[in-house]
Amino acid sequence: MEIQFGIQNENINSYNMRRQIMKLCNIKPFFSCCYCGIKFNNTLYGIQHNETILLCCQLCYIVTNFSHLHSSMTMIGTSQLSQKEINKRTVEYVRKNKICPSIIEIDGEAKPLNLKPSKFFNDTQQFHNAKVFFNNNIDISALFYKEKQDNDLFDEIEENTIDIHQQRKTETTERITKWTNKNNQLMQSVKILENHLFL
């Protein structure tokens, strides 16, 4: 399966579906991404294909199922390289340097485009040779690969996933609290103003 932009696959967003994918990973802790073919230990992404779920890596998932959630993780640039090659080089670079490469580090000939990723994904055909590059907002830890034969890996995968979920939950709660406080402050101001005006 070649990477194509914006393939509309069944959305696998629910926690249960993710758990199911994790279970699949647990049965076989090393899987190859169905798009780029690179080996990974762990993924939260899968593509529904007939009756089965094909596992894919984070980068290929973003490219094939782009949503506004991925805007901050991606940049658009022109490059002669295939999208598959860009994804491969990104994974290799991250594994070696523990950070995401810049566009130039992936392809010396590439040129960044001042183009919103969402605009690009609206009509990929319109932008000749435009490709997707990634930045440090991706989950870099999901790209590492550890060759391990024992069962410890299963527990590690399980623990890491729970951690990530807990972290996201906490972040969301914090954001909601922040906005509620702001809103309360605003309502107070409105009340003061109302009292002032109608006294």
In the complex with Zn ion, the residue whose CB is nearer, 35 or 121, is 35
In the complex, minimum distance from the CB of residue 59 to Zn ion, in angstroms, rounded to a whole number: 6
Tokens 């939950």 label which residue? 169
Report phi then psi at 54, rounded to 5: -90, 130
Q: Which two tokens stand for residue 188?
A: 């107070």
In the complex, minimum distance from the CB of residue 80 to Zn ion, in angstroms, rounded to a whole number: 20
CA–CA separation, 34 vs 101, rounded Å?
23
In the complex, minimum distance from the CB of residue 154 to Zn ion, in angstroms, rounded to a whole number: 22
Q: Which has the closest alpha carbon to 6: 77, 88, 70, 86?
A: 70
In the complex with Zn ion, the residue whose CB is nearer, 60 or 106, is 60
In the complex with Zn ion, the residue whose CB is nearer, 10 or 174, is 10
In the complex, minimum distance from the CB of residue 29 to Zn ion, in angstroms, rounded to a whole number: 17
Q: What's the chain's length in residues?
A: 199
Task: Give residues in contact with Zn ion (CB under 5 A).
Answer: 33, 35-36, 57, 60
In the complex with Zn ion, the residue whose CB is nearer, 85 or 105, is 85
CA–CA separation, 149 vs 176, rounded Å?
42
Helices (H), 7-50: 15-27
